[in-house]
Amino acid sequence: MDRRRFLAGTGAVLFAAPLAARAQQPAYGVGQRRKTYRIAVISPAAPITLMTETSPNLFFREFFVELRRLGYVEGENLVVHRFSSEGHERRNPEVATAAIRSAPDVIFAFSSRMVKALKDATTAIPIVGYTADPVSFGIVASLASPGGNVTGISTEAGVEIDGKRLSLIKEIMPTASRLAVLAPLAFWMSPYGSAIQMFAGQLGFIVVGRPIADPLDEVEFRSVFAKLQRDKADVVLVPDVSENNSNQRLVVEFAERAHLPTIASTRQFVKAGSLMSYGPDPADLVRRAVGYVDKVLRGAKPADLPIEQPTKFELTINLRAAKTLGLTIPQSVLLRAGEVIQ
């Protein structure tokens, strides 16, 4: 794999933009004094304009809907500061510093790399993370006893999950041998990147293509998929990283143009047109993460809140995509699917 140095992007977007809304349920008990809460919400890739309750981005939509359900209403008893690196990873430390300077009661952040940048910048402000394995990334010492100021939700139950995804590819495409993995260079330098290399070798795959790089935009994804076509990739693995989740439309669109089957970590990609996914329900995980935000705002200490992992993983298959790609899904695989899109 070409691990060349990529040119960094031109800057991050850093500003806060509270949105007004109406309360449905108070975040304080009867007789208690009304309090205004302050939270910072951070993404390494998603535009700030998508960090809303009506966003097409499932992650942020579910986040703000769940906050409202718990009684936190922006413009009434909640102030939200929004921050994003907008796909420029080298700006993560700067974005983390800006979020800390906004002096929130709690910080909620997507991605292991962003949470790590926050932890390196503060030990005082509580952080709720939506991450991969926080132990592997050096964020906490253990899931059961995180200690320090970080807690949250882990979206994976270990690196073995990617091995399961690659096994599913082999069941559906037994002759496939050239595997592309849509992920940034930092992913390849993590335990997950090493594990995928190992599983790929065990299953007879050669990893082709190149990492996705800053700045993440349509031009970059077009370049990456053009490279995959030149490298004659057979299939694309789409890991659960913010760069992919924030650019779902581009991932699905360019994979379809290249006539490349994709297996993703969440079924949102399959609903948008990808071949299949295997993983937990991200909407459920986000709601559980908001529950941790609620607990911290009510006085709980992150050190006392064990980091939760998903316990249910589902296979989703898009038969329309399979037909377009000229693939026949074995009945043995279909029977294991939690959802089949006809």
Per-residue pLDDT tens for 212-240? 988 788 999 999 999 999 999 999 999 98
193 and 218 part of one domain: yes
Task: Give this prediction's pTM.
Answer: 0.83
Instruction: Give the domain extent around 211.
Output: 160-279+313-341
Q: Is 3 a member of any domain?
A: no
For residue 184, the 8-state DSSP code is B
One digit per residue, the tens of pLDDT, for the chain of length 342 reads: 443 333 333 333 343 333 333 334 455 444 444 689 999 999 998 899 999 999 998 999 999 999 999 999 999 999 999 999 988 888 999 999 999 999 999 999 999 989 999 999 999 999 999 998 898 888 998 999 998 999 999 987 777 888 999 999 999 999 999 999 999 888 888 888 889 999 999 999 999 999 998 878 899 999 999 999 999 999 999 998 888 888 999 999 999 999 999 999 999 999 999 999 999 999 999 999 999 999 999 999 999 999 999 988 999 999 999 999 999 999 999 999 999 998
122 and 207 part of one domain: no
- Measured in degrees and rounded to the nearest 5, phi and psi for residue 79 equal -115, 125
187 and 241 part of one domain: yes
318 and 181 part of one domain: yes
Q: Identify the residue whose tokens are 């359900």.
A: 69
Q: CB atoms < 10 A from the CB of 143, how many? A: 15
274 and 209 part of one domain: yes
CATH of the domain at 191: 3.40.50.2300
Q: Is 57 a member of any domain?
A: yes
What are the pLDDT digits (tens) for 169-212? 999 999 999 999 999 888 888 888 889 999 999 999 999 999 99
Number of domains in the chain: 2
pLDDT at 193: 87
Q: How far is CA 107 from CA 38, 40, 99, 335, in A?
A: 9, 5, 8, 41
Give the separation between CA 183 and CA 193, rounded to whole angstroms.
9
Q: Is 7 a member of any domain?
A: no
Give the separation between CA 97 and CA 121, rounded to whole angstroms.
7
30 and 41 part of one domain: yes
Answer whether 254's CB lies under 8 Å from 225's CB: yes
257 and 298 part of one domain: no
Amino acid at 136: S
